[in-house]
């Protein structure tokens, strides 16, 4: 089966790789040979790591299933499933979907990995709207087991079933997001965590290291908040949060993200973000000592995330168990965020959200409280 992956950046190259690992023939498109070469070399590095662990038996065989191409037409012609992972610009995506509708196999799935644009808006740009669906992977796609599956108002059951089959064959876990809301599930949770952390930093209430250390060592999150922003890209999160806000998400984007975006301090990819890295695209884990977080209460930044989880449940966007699965498999949390909140105590969660309202003076916190009642 021919899978077309459109875009060979951080997400696209990973999606192409896991598809090839699952046995699909993959055509990976991007604008230039240079980008494609860099994507292939990242794929090779990742496959070598998997080979060393016995996860992949034959690196060359997997590589041979991936065909890099700078021709969009070549990638899409006769494809039986497309995953689009291009920049988060609606016009760019619309152009790809229009071509895909024409060139791919009739009735095949046209999926987008968008993290912020409504699936329905993308579907609206083509005739066969029922073929469009959101398949939202997480960074790094090679390791994160979650795929959010988002239906537009038009998605047919056939498209949904073919997509679920694809996700299963990649050995990933699908969580169905019932409503096409801005940020779906995981990015709504992250928006609360990251913005709360950033606001405390701006208010000089806590330092970056204090916050990162406390969420890692007291809550057991796999990365600090700012460490994760750098890892996946400050630019990525800024654009996602801004698109969410533009479409009605109740929460401001923290100005520090905007400033860093304009200064091109994107994190690992530019060599400079909240932390510094040895070079552009050269990843080295930041030093985050355990003792640094002793004096900081990480629930100040995690409680708004629990509040958002309750928003998702009360609006019937996702079930409690799906939200917990999503936070464990998409964000690597040791337990689901709702379970963590319940174990901490919902009265304590509310107390921390009220404290955030006091510290920041932001309306979004009183808004969140009503969903915990």
Active-site residues: which are they? 115, 136, 148, 187
Nearer to ligand 3HC (CB atom), residue 89 or residue 161: 89
* Binding segment (CB under 6 A) for ligand 3HC, from list 65-73, 137-145, 173-181, 312-320: 137-145
72 contributes a contact to ligand 3HC by CB under 6 A: no
144 contributes a contact to ligand 3HC by CB under 6 A: yes
Nearer to ligand 3HC (CB atom), residue 115 or residue 339: 115
Q: At closest approach, how far in Å is the CB of 146 from ligand 3HC?
A: 8
Q: At closest approach, how far in Å is the CB of 149 from ligand 3HC?
A: 14
What is the distance between the alpha carbons of residues 342 and 90, in angstroms, rounded to a whole number?
39
317 contributes a contact to ligand 3HC by CB under 6 A: no
* Binding segment (CB under 6 A) for ligand 3HC, from list 142-150, 165-173, 321-329, 350-358: 142-150
The length of the chain is: 373
Q: Which pair of tokens denotes residue 313?
A: 């449940």
Cβ(216)–Cβ(336) under 8 Å? Answer: no
* Binding segment (CB under 6 A) for ligand 3HC, from list 89-97, 306-314, 329-337, 363-371: 329-337
Give the position of tokens 């916190």. Answer: 365
Cβ(46)–Cβ(17) under 8 Å? Answer: yes
325 contributes a contact to ligand 3HC by CB under 6 A: no
Q: What's the angle, vertex CA 67, arms to CA 62 and CA 72, rounded to 5?
A: 145
Nearer to ligand 3HC (CB atom), residue 123 or residue 223: 223
- Residue 1's CB: how many other CB atoms inside 10 A? 14
Cite the DSSP H helix spans in the chain: 10-21, 33-52, 59-64, 72-76, 90-103, 119-123, 157-169, 186-202, 208-217, 225-232, 234-246, 255-262, 299-314, 320-331, 337-344, 346-360, 363-369
State which of positions 215-254 bind ligand 3HC (CB under 6 A): 222-223, 228, 232, 236, 240
State which of positions 281-310 bind ligand 3HC (CB under 6 A): none
What is the distance between the alpha carbons of residues 198 and 200, in angstroms, rounded to a whole number?
5
120 contributes a contact to ligand 3HC by CB under 6 A: no
38 contributes a contact to ligand 3HC by CB under 6 A: no
18 contributes a contact to ligand 3HC by CB under 6 A: no
Side-chain half-sphere of 242: how many Cα atoms within 13 Å? 14
75 contributes a contact to ligand 3HC by CB under 6 A: no
Q: Which of 159, 187, 199, 213 binds ligand 3HC (CB under 6 A)?
A: 187
115 contributes a contact to ligand 3HC by CB under 6 A: yes
What is the distance between the alpha carbons of residues 80 and 73, in angstroms, rounded to a whole number?
14
Cite the DSSP H helix spans in 149-298: 157-169, 186-202, 208-217, 225-232, 234-246, 255-262
31 contributes a contact to ligand 3HC by CB under 6 A: no
Q: Which pair of tokens denotes residue 363?
A: 């309306």
Q: Which of 143, 246, 295, 345 binds ligand 3HC (CB under 6 A)?
A: 143
Q: At closest approach, how far in Å is the CB of 17 from ligand 3HC?
A: 8
* Binding segment (CB under 6 A) for ligand 3HC, from list 18-26, 28-36, 64-72, 136-144: 136-144
Q: What's the angle, vertex CA 318, arms to CA 353 and CA 312, rounded to 5?
A: 25
Q: Show Cβ contacts of residue 302 under 8 Å, excluding neighbours closer than 6 positions.
A: 193, 215, 219, 337, 340, 341, 352
Nearer to ligand 3HC (CB atom), residue 130 or residue 224: 224
63 contributes a contact to ligand 3HC by CB under 6 A: no
The binding site for ligand 3HC (CB under 6 A) comprises 46, 49-50, 115, 138-140, 142-144, 187, 190, 222-223, 228, 232, 236, 240, 330-332
């Amino acid at each position: 089966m021919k899978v077309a992956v459109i875009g060979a950046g951080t997400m696209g190259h990973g999606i192409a790789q896991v598809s090839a690992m699952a046995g699909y023939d993959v055509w990976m498109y991007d604008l230039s040979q240079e980008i494609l070469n860099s994507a292939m070399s990242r794929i090779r590095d990742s496959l070598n790591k998997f080979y060393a662990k016995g996860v992949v038996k034959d690196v060359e065989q997997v590589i041979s299933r991936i065909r890099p191409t700078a021709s969009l037409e070549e990638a899409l012609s006769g494809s039986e499933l497309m995953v689009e992972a291009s920049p988060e610009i609606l016009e760019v995506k619309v152009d790809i979907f229009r071509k895909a509708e024409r060139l791919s196999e009739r009735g095949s799935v046209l999926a987008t990995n968008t993290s912020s644009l409504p699936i329905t808006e993308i579907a609206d740009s083509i005739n066969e709207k029922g073929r469009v669906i959101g398949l939202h992977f997480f960074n790094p796609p090679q390791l994160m087991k979650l795929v959010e599956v988002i239906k537009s108002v038009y998605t047919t059951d056939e498209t949904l079933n073919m997509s679920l089959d694809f996700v299963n064959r990649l050995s990933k876990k699908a969580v169905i997001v019932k409503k096409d809301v801005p940020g779906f599930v995981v990015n709504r949770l992250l928006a609360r965590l990251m913005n709360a952390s950033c606001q405390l930093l701006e208010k000089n209430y806590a330092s970056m290291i204090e916050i990162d250390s406390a969420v890692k060592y007291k809550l057991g999150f796999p990365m600090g908040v700012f460490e994760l922003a750098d890892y996946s890209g400050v630019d990525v999160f800024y654009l996602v949060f801004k698109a969410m806000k533009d479409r009605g998400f109740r929460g401001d984007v923290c100005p520090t993200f905007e400033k860093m975006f304009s200064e091109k301090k994107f994190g690992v990819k530019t060599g400079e973000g909240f932390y510094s890295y040895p070079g552009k695209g050269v990843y080295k884990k930041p030093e985050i000592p355990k003792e640094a977080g002793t004096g900081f209460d990480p629930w100040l930044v995690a409680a708004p995330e629990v509040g958002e989880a309750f928003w998702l449940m009360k609006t019937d966007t996702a079930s409690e168990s799906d939200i917990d699965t999503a936070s464990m498999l998409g964000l690597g949390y040791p337990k689901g965020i709702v379970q963590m909140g319940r174990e901490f105590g919902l009265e304590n969660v509310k107390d921390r959200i009220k404290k955030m309202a006091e510290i920041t003076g932001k309306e979004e916190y009183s808004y969140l409280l009503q969903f915990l009642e």
